[in-house]
Amino acid sequence: MKAWVVPAGRVGLTLAALAGLTLAQGSAGVLDLRTPAAAGTTAPQSALRAASMLCVGPELSGLKGAPDIAQSLTVDAQAAPSLVTGAQGPGQVDLTVGSAAATSGPEQASTTVAVPTPVQVDATGSAAPGLSAVQAFAADSADLRGLTTAPCTSSMTQAELIAGGAAPGRQERLVLANPGANEVTVDVSVLDSSGPVTSDAGRGIVVPGHGRTSVLVDAVAPAAQSPIVSVSVRGGSVTAALSDAWLDGSVPAGLETTVPATAGTSLVIPVVDLEQAGLLRLGVPGTDPAVASVRLLSSDGVTPLTGGVQTIAGRSSLDLPLTGLPVGTYALAVESDVPIVGAAMSQARVDAGPGDIAWTPSTPSITQAAGLPLPSAGDGTVHRLALVATGSTSVVTVVTRTGSAIDRRDVTLAADRVTVLDLGGATGVWVQRQGPAEHPVHGAILTTRGIGPSRLLAVAPLADAAFEAAVTTARALP
């Protein structure tokens, strides 16, 4: 059996939990994701034979009226292993940068992008079910420092993205990419602690077909203290990402790129790294006020949190500092009487020295399987998988790819605790639900480079991949 490294202390599994980590033999117990999981499905399903998603591309260039920041990022795409999907036969993964085909492969593809253009990810045949992709970037210079691992996503018509702040030198860039051939129109507003902020700069933003548009959040809400960026699309859909770059005077204090947060009355933020003080940001997209109750989840259970019950006005945001807590890796569970969104910021910085930040948005629960490629950020890169089961104990199967080798393990998740697994040298990971999805399971990848307070860090949330397609049937009229 291949050994997994399990960090000591709060970061990692306890010995008792490790005893429940077992290697399944062969394909016994593998959930067949080609079969509909729930009764009463409105349309018949079949194995997915084609899948697409979009990466927004370099976040720090292509903003009209602002200087470009040189950036060369990587895009990695992978098909889920057949052990997860059950798919057989030939398949292919293709990456297209702008209008030029970049690279392709039977199971995975990777490219480097330095121009401000989206990257289209397509898969066909056996590579389509479970397709996932991530764009990654690392910098450690005198004026830019940080690590980003942003999942590439499907497009949407409404989204809330959470990052940024009011500190001098902190700049948020919203990047909107259009997967369709026709231009779309986007309205952007900001929820802040003082209420909603709208301006002419956020109305009627045009995103060209198969192109992208960047928006400086300060142009929409220049005085926002706790920004939550709201995106509403007309005439189509977009893929959205929010970059948070922080230059504190002349000192680079961090960089992160995050994707939309999931809204609901029960939120889970699956990982926050609290080696230093962190922050929880909550927002209410609707007009009614929310009463939110926050629980901090460690590997030992629920940890008391000062100020854990908060009232948030409608169409506004609220920041809750995460301070005075034992050093460790945690998760957050939030219950509210009306739908809200949330995200937590992790920070790696001491005093006024160089640092980095990471934002973890509230995530959807994993109902079938979710996964991501694990790109290297250079020497000292460590990928950790954080998993949270709320309400009751759950079992998941964790499948890793390391080169051409595939490894499968069943992991028991204790209720209302965070379980963290060191993924070693894996180049891809997938989390597969086992049994009924009566209680939610959420996950994210925490990536670090280096150790101690000067390390780089980033978070990539996990969301269900597509495995099935609706089948349209036609019958001749009598």
Write out pLDDT tens, residues 350-366.
Answer: 889 999 999 999 999 99
- H helix runs in 20-98, sequence order: 82-85
Q: What is the pLDDT of residue 265?
A: 98
Residue spans of beta strands (DSSP E) within 304-393 = 309-312, 317-322, 329-348, 356-361, 369-373, 381-389
Query: How do beta strands 329-348 and 278-283 pair?
Result: antiparallel
**For range 238-258, the mean pLDDT:** 97
Average pLDDT along the chain: 89
Give the model confidence (pLDDT) of 150-209 as tens digits. 999 999 999 999 999 999 999 999 999 999 999 999 999 999 999 999 999 999 999 999
The residues pairing with 240 across neighbouring beta strands, listed in sequence order, are 176
Residue spans of beta strands (DSSP E) within 141-263 = 145-151, 158-162, 170-177, 184-192, 195-197, 205-207, 212-216, 228-234, 239-248, 251-258
Q: How many helices (H) and strands (E) does the chain have?
A: 3, 35
**List of residues 6+ apart from 350 with CB closer than 8 A:** 276, 453, 454
Q: How confident is the model at residue 435 (pLDDT cuts 50, 70, 90)?
A: confident
Q: Which of helix, strand or coil describes residue 153?
A: strand
Residue 176 corresponds to which amino acid?
L
**For range 221-243, the mean pLDDT:** 97
- Asked if pLDDT for residue 476 goes beyond 70, the answer is no
Q: What is the pLDDT of residue 14?
A: 31
- Farthest CA pair distance, the chain: 78
Q: What is the pLDDT of residue 37?
A: 34
Q: What is the pLDDT of residue 46?
A: 53
Question: pTM of the full predicted structure?
Answer: 0.90
Q: If you ran DSSP here, which 8-state letter would residue 200 be given?
A: G
Tokens of 471: 């089948």
Select from 23, 69, 76, 33 the least CA-distant residue to 445: 76
- Asked if pLDDT for residue 129 goes beyond 50, the answer is yes
Least confident range from 182-186, 309-313, 318-322, 450-454: namely: 450-454
CA distance 330 to 258: 19
Give the model confidence (pLDDT) of 456-469 as tens digits. 999 999 999 998 87
**Residue that is written with structure tokens 């009355």 in the block:** 265
Q: What is the pLDDT of residue 238?
A: 98
Q: What is the pLDDT of residue 475?
A: 53
Q: How confident is the model at residue 27 (pLDDT cuts 50, 70, 90)?
A: very low
- Spell out a b/e string for 429-468, using b for 16 or more CB atoms within 10 Å of the CB, else e: bbbbbbeeeebbbbbbbbbbbbeebebbbbbbbbbbbbbb
Give the model confidence (pLDDT) of 396-423 as tens digits. 999 999 989 999 999 999 999 999 999 9
The residues pairing with 177 across neighbouring beta strands, listed in sequence order, are 212, 239
Q: If you ran DSSP here, which 8-state letter would residue 79 be given?
A: P
- Asked if pLDDT for residue 109 goes beyond 70, the answer is yes
- Asked if pLDDT for residue 66 goes beyond 90, the answer is no
Percent of the chain with pLDDT over 70: 88
Q: How confident is the model at residue 19 (pLDDT cuts 50, 70, 90)?
A: very low
CA distance 109 to 93: 6
Q: What is the pLDDT of residue 453?
A: 85
Tokens of 169: 């030198």
- Asked if pLDDT for residue 387 goes beyond 70, the answer is yes
Do 191 and 317 contact (CB within 8 A), yes or no?
yes
Q: What is the pLDDT of residue 47?
A: 76
